[in-house]
Amino acid sequence: MSSVLDQLVNKPYEHGFRTDIETESAPKGLSEDTIRMISGKKNEPEWLLEFRLKAYRHWLTMEEPHWPNVKYPKIDFQDIIYFSAPKPKKKLSMDEVDPELLRTFEKLGVPMNERAALAGVAVDVIFDSVSVATTYKEKLAKVGIIFCSISEAVRDHPELIKKYLGSVVPPGDNYYAALNSAVFTDGSFVFIPKGVKCPMELSTYFRINTEESGQFERTLIVAEERATVSYLEGCTAPKFDTNQLHAAVVELVALDNADIKYSTVQNWYAGDENGLGGIFNFVTKRGLCQGANSKISWTQVETGSAITWKYPSCVLLGDNSIGEFYSVALTNHMQQADTGTKMIHLGKNTRSTIISKGISAGRSNNSYRGLVKIGAKAAGARNYSQCDSMLIGQKCSANTFPYIQVNNPTATVEHEATTSKIGEDQLFYFRQRGIGAEEAVSMIINGFCKEVFQQLPMEFAVEATKLLGLKLEGSVG
């Protein structure tokens, strides 16, 4: 009976190819020597090596978190390659980028060539451990915006990195953040100076290519007073039977009246129908609304990864600051997701909105976990949370774990949750009106996710709509 739905969810992963490119990889394993090697390869200053080693030593004393509602075999951290870079490692201008790499990203639909680029989107491209290209750098520099890889930023803007790196997610914050702080290889750095409105969308595209390599990128975005920026992140990986670890850290800092919008379309390889292979996506993302009237908005569309463990959060320190979290998490087959957000209200009249849409198909498990915390001084704080789950088929599950801590009597906190199901009758209704099952599912899902998709920049919204359609092909019945 579930045949129509089944066919619909089981569309093959489109980005599963592997680029045959010569890479330079570190040997497997993690030790202080590995860290010194990574730091040395990147010619890092002493303080950064110290930052890494301190994080590593702290990590050694920590334990993997066991509270998420996910199951996976123990990760052998000595069986991972911590550094892998396409040769030549030397940073090249756009015209000199290895044509094989250009072709890879073309195939993925990521414009690396500025002339052919999507109008108005600047891209930083990360391949395994290194940034291979950043577009529109010069144009952005004219208005004072810094957009480059974190390695370059360490070299060219050490004072900014020193000031902000680890300021929102301290190296010892959690197990995977500590690991990332020890071994992060590359990532993007964005700095929007006072009063500047970033004239285009900024975006980073992450690609894991090497089997058995981990990706540990670090993203840091700083928006000074009255600055605004919209940033997008996309990710894919080839199909491997082994699991790869992706443990990223993203830090956002918004000063007075600044506005940061961070959007993610995550399509890491999810493993096959039986749960073999796929990415372990253990990510720490946090934004600090440091200034008064600042705003940080997270939008995420999570469709890939064997396991997703991530809680993009907002610390609302500045008075009247605003935090938002809009999320669509889709799981199929054997995928597991434990994702949500934390809204920490510290300043007065701070406001937060959480809209979470979980879609589970196949035998997957999809959990929303969210914390709303109102501090003692956060007078007049308000939160509204809405968590909706949709089930497709009989064998999947959805859970909601809301945590609410209120320490100020003037706060208002609202939480709503619903669960629905795409069933045969809903599909039959569409089909009786002449609309095919595939289109019907896509329409139902898009209707369900509407409030989140509306938050995405235009091109990404189209992309996300298509992506969900592909992911769900064959899952209806």
Selected range binding other proteins among 11-19, 226-234, 296-304, 442-450, rule: CB under 8 A:
442-450
CB of 382 to other proteins, least distance (A): 25
From 59, 2, 23, select the one nearest 391 (Cα to Cα). 2
Per-residue binder mask for other proteins (CB under 8 A), 375-414, x = binder: ----------------------------------------
CB count within 10 Å of CB 21 equals 16
E strand or H helix at 463: helix 458-472
Between helix 437-453 and helix 424-432 the angle, nearest 10°, is 110
Q: Which is nearer to other proteins, 79 or 439 (CB)?
A: 439
**Two tokens at 354?**
């959480």
Which residue(s) pair with 439 in the sheet?
A: none
* 437, 456, 467, 472: residue in contact with other proteins (rule CB under 8 A): 437
Q: Does 446 bind other proteins (CB under 8 A)?
A: yes
Give the whole-angstrom CA distance, residue 372 versus residue 246. 26
Question: Phi/psi of residue 163, each to 5°?
Answer: -70, -40
Which residue(s) pair with 102 in the sheet?
A: none
**Within 13 Å, how many C-alpha atoms sit on residue 128's CB side?**
24
Give the whole-angstrom CA distance, residue 270 versus residue 237. 9
Q: Does 208 bind other proteins (CB under 8 A)?
A: no
Q: Which is nearer to other proteins, 7 or 69 (CB)?
A: 7
Q: Which is nearer to other proteins, 4 or 55 (CB)?
A: 4
CB of 451 to other proteins, least distance (A): 8
**Two tokens at 31?**
């030790």
CB of 388 to other proteins, least distance (A): 9
How many helices and strands, by DSSP H and E, does the chain display? 11, 23
Q: Which is nearer to other proteins, 47 or 429 (CB)?
A: 429
* 73, 99, 409, 434: residue in contact with other proteins (rule CB under 8 A): 434
Q: Which is nearer to other proteins, 159 or 425 (CB)?
A: 425
From 232, 184, 181, 239, select the one nearest 208 (Cα to Cα). 239
Q: Does 425 bind other proteins (CB under 8 A)?
A: yes
CB of 445 to other proteins, least distance (A): 9
* 184, 269, 298, 448: residue in contact with other proteins (rule CB under 8 A): 448
Q: Does 4 bind other proteins (CB under 8 A)?
A: yes
Q: Does 465 bind other proteins (CB under 8 A)?
A: no
Q: Which is nearer to other proteins, 361 or 444 (CB)?
A: 444
Strand, coil or helix: 467: helix
* 450, 458, 462, 466: residue in contact with other proteins (rule CB under 8 A): 450
**Two tokens at 418?**
């619903």
Q: Does 429 bind other proteins (CB under 8 A)?
A: yes
Site for other proteins in 350-369 (CB under 8 A): none
Question: Phi/psi of residue 339, each to 5°?
Answer: -145, 155
Give the whole-angstrom CA distance, residue 272 versus residue 177. 28
Q: Which is nearer to other proteins, 12 or 436 (CB)?
A: 436
Q: Which is nearer to other proteins, 92 or 443 (CB)?
A: 443
Tokens 């810094």 sit at which residue?
A: 146
Q: Which is nearer to other proteins, 85 or 445 (CB)?
A: 445
Q: Which is nearer to other proteins, 408 or 446 (CB)?
A: 446
What is the size of the binding site for other proteins (CB under 8 A)?
Answer: 25
Selected range binding other proteins among 178-186, 225-233, 333-341, 437-445, rule: CB under 8 A:
437-445
* 1, 46, 71, 159: residue in contact with other proteins (rule CB under 8 A): 1
Q: Is 315 left (phi over 0), alpha (psi -120 to 50) or beta?
A: beta
Q: Which is nearer to other proteins, 1 or 116 (CB)?
A: 1
Q: Which residues contact 59 (CB under 8 A, 6 or more apart)?
A: 175, 178, 179, 181, 182
* 65, 109, 195, 436: residue in contact with other proteins (rule CB under 8 A): 436
**Two tokens at 374?**
């109102």
Q: Which is nearer to other proteins, 46 or 425 (CB)?
A: 425
* 444, 456, 467, 472: residue in contact with other proteins (rule CB under 8 A): 444
CA 331: distance to chain centroid? 15
Instruction: Let me know: does 473 contact 11? Beta carbons within 8 Å.
Output: yes
Q: Does 462 bind other proteins (CB under 8 A)?
A: no
Q: Which residues contact 339 (CB under 8 A, 6 or more apart)?
A: 300, 302, 308, 309, 310, 311, 327, 329, 367, 368, 369
* 431, 459, 465, 470: residue in contact with other proteins (rule CB under 8 A): 431
CB count within 10 Å of CB 3 equals 11
E strand or H helix at 404: strand 397-406
Selected range binding other proteins among 12-20, 135-143, 176-184, 434-442, rule: CB under 8 A:
434-442
Which spans of this chain sit near other proteins (rule: CB under 8 A)? Answer: 1, 4, 420, 424-426, 428-437, 439, 443-444, 446-451
